[in-house]
Amino acid sequence: MKSFVKALLLLISIQSSGIINAQKVWTLEQCIGYALQNNLQIKRQALQVDMANNNLTQSKIDFLPDLSASGTHNYGSGRAPNYSTFSYASNTLNSGNIGLQSNVIIFSGFQKIYTVKMRFYNFLSTRENLEKAKNDISLAIASAYLQILFNRELLDVTQSQLEVTKMQVDKTSKLVEVGNLARGSLLEIQAQAASEEANLTDAQNKLNLSYITLAQILDLDTLKNFEIYIPQEINVPETFSDNTDSVYKIALNNMPEIKGAEYSLLSAKSQLAVVRGSRFPQLTLTGYYDTQYDFNDSLSKPVIGSNGLPVIGPYGNIETVNYKKNPIGDQLKNNVYKQVSLNLSIPIFTKWQIQTRVSNAKINVLDAEFALKQNQIGLRKDIEQAYADALAAFQNHKSRQRSVAAYEENFKYVQQKFDVGLINSVDYNVAKNDYTKSKSDFLQAKYEFIFKTKILDFYKGNVIKL
């Protein structure tokens, strides 16, 4: 019973270990998904989208009136005007005023409307830049991922060739012992084994470096337990054909760099309309609300005669009488001043500043048109280059496939002759090295073709996956 429990626990442990390890194996889709969520460059580009969205929101809010409050308190002493008696007197000043003011632009050559359009297109362009950054990182991950697969297969080839050479070392050693081969043959085959051990170390280092490259693109903190999913087999189709014109038409409607350039052009045209709007008069509505207060203990007011006019004293001055100030609340209520005004500003001569801005805005429109055309031409070049590379890689793969088969048959024939002592180790090593190189070239052509076809699929709008 105890042995059964131990066996059951061991089985559970093995299965749990397999689950844990499986969770640490990354597929190509998982690598791309992780990078799109965590890559710092993409995060920074996303912040630019947020900033452009804030600017767009602000341009819409700018249609609303503004509102500001102001307040002033004055304290002083000396000869100052007394507006109650319209004369100067020595007084202590301890007063102030508070007010509200609001402005709203009624007309400004439609500048605010075009500003909203400009920032809307800026927002769309920035968002497309984010999509381009995502596409770039996806392609970089696909390239690094396929490089790992290539280096793994190359490592397997190198390992298998070393094992074959070690077997030949044993066979040669036995033939030397019985006198069928000279000792020089054993030394040559041992040197070959040492060389292939160095090649194995180099292949392992290349595999490690390719893992590091992928981890760095993913911005991983550590390489511990980092493994990628190895497909059972990646097949290359028997035929390859594509139409660059159809791929270009699809990409022209899907690629974010094209959309972003189109939005940048629309933004530049809106900016030109904004600048042209500064040639028009600007009409502004202003509302003003103000009230005053005075902290002095008493105030002076003119003495009014029976005729309803101020009484003139013997020296020609207006006679006054002191009276107790009103409470602050009453002062604020009684001293209210309200004003609504329309302000018209007409640009007549601005030292050619408006014309300069209009001219520069036109240049920006032309530059945006050139940038769009440049992106379109660049996209076509990239697609044509990717197609040419894929076709060349496909043809190269087929020729390398035939080459591997030929070198394999040749190596088998040479190996049989070497085993019976009909040829020396030099001829054997040459045949073996040719066979190894043909397999390496075959693998390189295979993964180059796979990557180029992934690029074409990417331009078609397909998801990058194996």
Q: What is the mean pLDDT of the chain?
A: 84
Q: What is the pLDDT of residue 31?
A: 93
* Top-confidence residue, 44 or 9: 44
Q: Which two tokens stand for residue 126?
A: 């920035």
Q: What is the pLDDT of residue 13?
A: 40
Taking the CB of residue 396, how many other CB atoms lie within 10 A of it?
Answer: 18
Q: Output the 3-class SS for 362-389.
A: HHHHHHHHHHHHHHHHHHHHHHHHHHHH
Q: Which domains does the chain have, with CATH numbers?
A: 29-64+108-280+349-466 (1.20.1600.10), 70-107+282-345 (no CATH)
The pLDDT tens digits for 305-351 are: 777 777 777 666 666 665 556 677 777 788 889 999 999 999 999 89
Q: Mean pLDDT, to the nearest integer, of 237-245?
A: 80
The pLDDT tens digits for 347-400 are: 999 899 999 999 999 999 999 999 999 999 999 999 999 889 888 888 988 888
Q: What is the pLDDT of residue 10?
A: 40
Write down the pTM of the prediction: 0.79
Among 101, 82, 100, smallest CA distance to 91 is for: 82
Q: Mean pLDDT, to the nearest integer, of 292-296?
A: 75
The pLDDT tens digits for 68-115 are: 999 998 887 777 665 555 566 666 777 788 999 999 999 999 999 999
> Is the model's pLDDT at 241 over the cut of 90?
no
> Is the model's pLDDT at 120 over the cut of 70?
yes
Among 432, 12, 403, smallest CA distance to 193 is for: 432
Identify the band that residue 14 occupies on the pLDDT scale cut at 50, 70 and 90: very low
Block residue for tokens 């990646």: 234
> Is the model's pLDDT at 210 over the cut of 90?
yes
